[in-house]
Amino acid sequence: MPGHEIVGRVTGVGAAVTCFKPGDQVGIGCMVDSCQQCDPCKHGLEQYCQAGHTLTYASHDRQDQRPTYGGYSEKIVASENFVLKVPDALDLAGAAPLLCAGITIWSPLRHWEADKGSKVAITGLGGLGHMGLKLAKALGAEVTLFTRSPSKAQEARRLGADHIVLSTDESQMVAAKGRFDLIIDTVPYVHDINPYLPTLKLSGTLVLVGNVGGLEPFLSTIPLILGRKSVAGSVIGGIAETQELLDFCGQHGITSDVEIIRIQDINAAYERLLKSDVMYRFVIDMASLKS
């Protein structure tokens, strides 16, 4: 629900539309527009549009300034530049979170060049984290989950983790010293990232995708300086990159693990979200609106 992305089939296209036709299986992710003229937009990085992209939900349309209402609807009208083709092989409901959780993981995996031979760790096993395990594994990386919950080990292995490191167990953290090329930290609240930095290899990078705010407690520069390590951030991904992800998922049969709900059950789902009681994304079947 947080991303408000929408998937479905094309019901009609404007005269100028060249890439889609009625019946196509498509999706719209977190963005419906951007300036299309700045340097990031020209390089397929609309998520970093210098003029600010238009979110699918809770932004204002660039043409008429009306609020955008996102995926809580039966139909949506959008520029074809922001419409993605969802491979026919993919289940539509399971593909929906690829447009938010999936691309949020895919973009840093690609930017920091995770592939065969890479050692990648994912911190946190939620909507983002479970996509991290699946995608890093499918790219050929050796994949580790950092978690505070021993009970998540079996589930993590099912999703693609080769190793589990309990971040609350100091001996496991010491044993993981110098192991990872890339850590993608999906934890969506303030937490101490200092314990993770020693587990990066020389010149490794820890990418924050969930914790928006202050890095508390103070980040120590010592592992950065003495190991040429980086702390970075990343947000969703560009349109071309999102299509690349969908095509990759089509080839590898990857979707998000979802629980489909009726729109009438949204309040109960919201209460469960607050308790992290979802594996791993809720998807609303909008057909339920008229049932």
Q: List residues near a second copy by CB under 8 A.
A: 39-40, 45, 48, 50, 111, 178, 202-203, 205, 208-209, 211-216, 218-235
46-65 burial, b at 16+ Cβ within 10 Å, e below that, comes to bbbbeeebbbbbebeebeee
Residue 175 Cβ vs a second copy, minimum distance, rounded to whole Å: 15
Residue 156 has phi, psi (to 5 degrees) of -65, -40
Nearer to a second copy, 183 or 208 (CB): 208
Residue 231: both structure tokens together = 């702390």
| Residue 203 main-chain phi, psi, to 5 deg | 70, 15
CA 56 to chain CA centroid, nearest Å: 16
**How many Cα neighbours within 13 Å face the side chain of 153?**
7
Nearer to a second copy, 224 or 278 (CB): 224
Q: Which is nearer to a second copy, 156 or 182 (CB)?
A: 182
- For residue 224, the minimal CB distance to a second copy (Å) is 3
CB of 109 to a second copy, least distance (A): 13
* Minimum gap (Å) between residue 212 Cβ and a second copy: 6
Cβ atoms of 176 and 165 within 8 Å: the answer is: yes
Question: Please, what is the minimum distance in Å from the beta carbon of residue 192 to a second copy?
Answer: 12
163-166 and 142-147 strand pairing: parallel
Query: What are the phi and psi torsion angles at 187 (to 5°)?
Result: -65, 125
**Min CB(82)–a second copy separation in Å:** 19
Q: Are 262 and 136 a contacting pair, CB within 8 Å?
A: no
Q: Which is nearer to a second copy, 14 or 214 (CB)?
A: 214
Question: Which lies closer to a second copy via its Cβ, residue 87 or residue 227?
Answer: 227
Closest to a second copy by CB, 157 or 201: 201
Residue length, the chain? 291
